[in-house]
Each structure stands twice: as structure tokens, then as C-alpha cells.
Amino acid sequence: MRRGQAFEVFRLLIAAVIAGAILMVLLSVLGGLTITTQAPDDFIKQAIKSMATEGGVRTSNTIVFKNGMAVNLAAAAGAAVLDVGCVDTYVDATLPWSCDSSTHLCDYSGGSQRGYIRVVCNPITGTGQKVGKCSTAFDSTTCSLACCVEFHKAA
């Protein structure tokens, strides 16, 4: 063995350890940026269906809202056998979502933007109960369970 060869191997080992540490840091950072490919419609349907008996809160991973994206609240409510009148929406003022209460459709009409959806469902036991950030006051004579679908901008 020639003199000085062991030092080169040691330098290579140090470089490998540093590269591994950098890779671990990058993977942990990227792991925190989970962006879902699930369609908003599917998330809302599954969330309402999973909370149809006891209520609760479900929040999606980060979703990229894109121009032309639409959500059918009637279909989401129907999947959980919930009257569409027992589902309301709240939209963060900074997002270009528009929801039509007569057709129960919500449309996104802006540039690509990261956000998330929170679905809050609560049993209704009286009159004038509000759910989540929604403004509708629900009544137990028409809704035993009410859900608020909230559209939020990601931080």
C-alpha cells in the first residue's frame, strides 16, 4: 500500500456521511409538504360518509386548487344519505371559490393555488345551531346531522 492512500478513502467516507445527512434533511423537509392527488369531491364524500353517525372534523392534506375545479355538494351529501339542505359551505375570502346554493355546486375560477378542505359535521339537537365556520343556522326538525364544507388557503 502506498503512503497516503488511506487518507483518500477517509475523505470519501466523510463525503458519503455528509451527503447522507443532506439527503435526510431534504427528505424530512419534502415529507412535510404532502400534496394530495385526491379530488376535492372524493375527499368531501368520504369525510361526510365517515362522520354520518356521530359527526367530527376531517381535514384534507394540501390540495392544489386549479381553474375549473368543481365540487358537487349534492353528490357528496347523497353518498352519506344526508339531505343536501344539511350541508353548507364556507370559503376563505382570499380564494376564488363560488358556491351556488340552488345547484349545490362550487366552482374554482382562479390560478393554481395551494389550499385544504375541512369538513365539520355535528349532530343537530335544537334550532339555530351553526356548524364550523358556516353561517347557516340548522334545525333538528330538518337535519339530525349538519355538515360545513370549508375551503381554506394553505399557509
Cross-strand partners of 147 = 87, 121
- CA dist., res. 25 & res. 46, Å (int): 34
Task: Characterize the bridge pairing of strands 105-108 and 56-59.
Answer: unpaired
Cell representation of residue 41: 369531491
Query: Residues 106, 95: contact at Cβ < 8 Å?
Result: no
Q: Which of 11-15, 30-34, 75-79, 124-128 has the highest mean pLDDT?
A: 124-128
- The helix (H) or strand (E) run that includes residue 106 is strand 105-108
pLDDT over threshold 90, residue 30: no
Percentage above 90 pLDDT, the chain: 44
Q: Pick from 149, 151, 90: which is nearest to 121 by CA?
A: 149
Q: Pick from 108, 53, 104, 39: which is nearest to 77 by CA?
A: 104
pTM of the model: 0.74
How does pLDDT run across 91-130, given as a tens digit for each residue? 999 999 999 988 889 999 988 899 999 999 999 998 999 9
- CA dist., res. 114 & res. 12, Å (int): 41
Cα angle: 107, vertex 112, 118; to 5 degrees: 60
- CA dist., res. 105 & res. 76, Å (int): 11
**How long, in residues, is the chain?**
155
Please tell me the predicted confidence (pLDDT) of residue 3.
61
